[in-house]
């Protein structure tokens, strides 16, 4: 009997363990079946007001569009008409340009005496009310026999440390000959500074073929007037005319963000800037104090609050006074930095710097949006809506670019610049669907069935004992 009871006890314990395992499995399955919370969808709308008539209109994107976008490449941006129909568009990023300039310059021979430039007998000057030279005129010098000792060139404007190229038209000669000279520069024709020395123009005759070296390169020219001082006592040929060429870099105009977007974190003793990964920042600027100062720091980035900060750059700003000259470095190049958040932490050298709030600003180059003016007005831009099929969206954007390229090739008038109207931010609450969870019902059915089976088995064992 004792042995039989032990057998019954072991079987009952086994049945109990199997039942508990079934219950645990059911509860775990029910818990893991819970849905993850759905975030609120924030959709930003801004009205576009066309100007004039044209198949294409263009507008410059604003900072709010980037900050409300959910996509790093603005792939969630849509252009819609009043009926909600999509309009084809393309987004272009502006780039710095190099502009090439070439023009003829006025040239006047300088005759002896060389040092009395204002009394040169074949040049007269006209002055404005502030005694500045307004015009240089060449008088009739057909009866003058003085030797030409140089030339005066009027570039017509201040070239602000530009590198220029001068091309000269030379009088013809029938033999190999050279013209050596130095060049000075001036803004007022009174005080002169050296611009270059030992320059040479040449005409080389080889086997009845004349080769002309008629061009020179000058660097860091910052004045309107150039003076050519001939070094040869008997110049072999003369200069008839001259032209200047120079290139000019035209930078993309930057837009500075709002100071309100920058907050100071007391816990981290750092400035936190909430940005958008779709916005490429070019420059960081710090408003330095009027007193001399040196301020160093570090710049960190991350995409969201869940990530750790990553060191991106070491910063260095300073304001140094040298006599009456102020040497200021208040900007730092970010080279198109993209991040969800930026943290700037300074290494303060004294408590006074730490107590004064700093004014930081970020600059970015806005992109241009060109869209087809089709459908009913008003038009609008929307960003922030989640895209469930990103691959098809990329194909659609590529087709839009091709369409706009074809239109640009056909139109002959400049693209009109549209304007922004009113804007609004719509917050869409997540929809919680009510449904029958058949999976959970099935698990509970198995659980109840298991309990019934265990009870039946226990009842059979008890009968055996009796």
pLDDT digits (tens, 9 = 90+) for 57-72: 999 998 889 888 888 7
How many Cα atoms sit within 13 Å of 362 on the Cβ side?
Answer: 29
Contact present, 87 and 371 (Cβ < 8 Å): yes
Q: Which residues contact 40 (CB under 8 A, 6 or more apart)?
A: 427, 428, 429, 430
Same domain, 45 and 120: no
Same domain, 351 and 220: no
Contact present, 407 and 74 (Cβ < 8 Å): no
We report the CATH number of the domain holding residue 315 as 2.60.120
- The candidate with the shortest Cα–Cα distance to 367, out of 256, 273, 255, is 255
Same domain, 136 and 117: yes
Print pLDDT tens along the chain (466 aa).
555 555 555 555 555 555 555 555 555 555 554 555 556 778 999 999 998 888 899 999 988 898 888 887 888 899 999 888 999 999 998 888 888 888 898 898 888 765 444 444 455 666 666 555 555 555 555 445 578 889 999 988 766 667 889 999 988 777 888 999 999 999 888 889 999 999 999 988 887 787 888 999 998 888 889 999 998 877 778 899 999 998 888 888 888 876 556 788 777 778 888 888 888 888 998 887 777 888 889 999 998 888 899 999 999 999 888 887 888 898 999 888 888 889 999 887 655 555 566 788 888 888 999 999 987 888 999 998 877 777 788 888 888 889 999 998 888 888 989 999 999 988 877 665 555 566 667 766 767 776 666 666 666 665 665 5
Same domain, 105 and 181: yes
**Residue 370: inside a domain, yes or no?**
no
- The candidate with the shortest Cα–Cα distance to 40, out of 62, 80, 70, is 70
The single-letter DSSP state of residue 118 is: G
Same domain, 143 and 245: yes
Domain termination residue (choose one: 323, 343, 364): 364
**Residue 61: inside a domain, yes or no?**
yes
**Residue 369: inside a domain, yes or no?**
no
457: containing domain: 2-36+433-465
Same domain, 132 and 239: yes
Same domain, 112 and 242: yes
Same domain, 115 and 203: yes
Count up the domains in the chain and report the number. 4
Same domain, 346 and 408: no
Same domain, 357 and 388: no
The predicted-structure confidence for 79-126, as pLDDT tens digits, reads as follows 999 888 999 999 998 888 888 888 898 898 888 765 444 444 455 666
Backbone angles phi, psi at 15, to 5 degrees: -60, -40
**Residue 187: inside a domain, yes or no?**
yes
**Residue 199: inside a domain, yes or no?**
yes
Instruction: Output the CA torsion 395→396→398→403 (10° steps).
Output: 140
């Amino acid at each position: 009997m004792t042995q039989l009871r032990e057998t019954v006890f072991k079987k009952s314990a086994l049945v109990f363990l199997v039942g508990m395992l079934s219950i645990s499995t059911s509860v775990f399955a029910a818990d893991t079946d819970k849905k993850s919370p759905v975030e609120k969808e924030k959709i930003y709308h801004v009205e576009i007001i066309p100007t004039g008539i044209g198949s294409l209109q263009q507008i410059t994107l604003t900072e709010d569009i980037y900050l409300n976008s959910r996509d790093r490449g603005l792939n969630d941006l849509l252009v819609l008409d009043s009926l909600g129909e999509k309009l084809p568009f393309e987004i272009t990023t502006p780039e710095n340009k190099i502009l090439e300039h070439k023009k003829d310059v006025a040239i006047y021979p300088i005759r002896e005496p060389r040092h009395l430039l204002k009394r040169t007998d074949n040049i007269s000057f006209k002055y404005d009310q502030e005694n500045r030279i307004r015009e240089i005129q060449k008088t009739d010098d057909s009866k003058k026999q003085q030797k030409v000792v140089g030339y005066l060139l009027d570039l017509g404007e201040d070239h602000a440390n530009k590198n220029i190229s001068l091309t000269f038209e030379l009088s013809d000669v029938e033999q190999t000959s050279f013209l050596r000279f130095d060049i000075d520069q001036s803004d007022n024709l009174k005080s002169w500074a050296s611009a270059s020395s030992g320059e040479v123009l040449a005409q080389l005759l080889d086997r009845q073929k004349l080769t002309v070296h008629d061009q020179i390169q000058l660097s860091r020219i910052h004045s309107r007037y150039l003076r050519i001082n001939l070094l040869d006592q008997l110049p072999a040929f003369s200069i008839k005319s001259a032209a200047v060429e120079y290139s000019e870099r035209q930078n993309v105009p930057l837009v500075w963000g709002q100071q309100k977007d920058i907050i100071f974190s007391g816990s981290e003793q750092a400035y936190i800037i909430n940005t958008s990964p779709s916005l490429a920042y070019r420059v960081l600027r710090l408003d330095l104090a009027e007193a001399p100062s040196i301020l160093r720091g570090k710049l960190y980035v991350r995409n969201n609050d869940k990530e750790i900060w990553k060191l991106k750059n070491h910063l260095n700003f300073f304001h140094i006074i040298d006599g009456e000259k102020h040497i200021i470095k208040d900007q730092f190049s970010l080279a198109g930095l993209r991040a969800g958040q930026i943290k700037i932490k300074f290494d303060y050298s004294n408590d006074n710097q730490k107590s004064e709030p700093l004014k930081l600003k970020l600059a970015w180059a806005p992109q241009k949006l060109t869209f087809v003016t089709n459908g009913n007005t008003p038009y609008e831009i929307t960003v922030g809506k989640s895209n469930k099929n990103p691959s098809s969206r990329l194909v659609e954007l590529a087709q839009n670019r091709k369409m706009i390229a074809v239109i640009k090739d056909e139109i002959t008038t400049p693209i009109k610049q549209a304007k922004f109207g009113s804007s609004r931010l719509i917050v869409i609450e997540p929809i919680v669907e009510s449904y029958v969870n058949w999976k959970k019902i099935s698990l509970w059915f198995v659980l109840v069935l298991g309990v019934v089976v265990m009870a039946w088995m226990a009842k059979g064992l008890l009968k055996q004992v009796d």
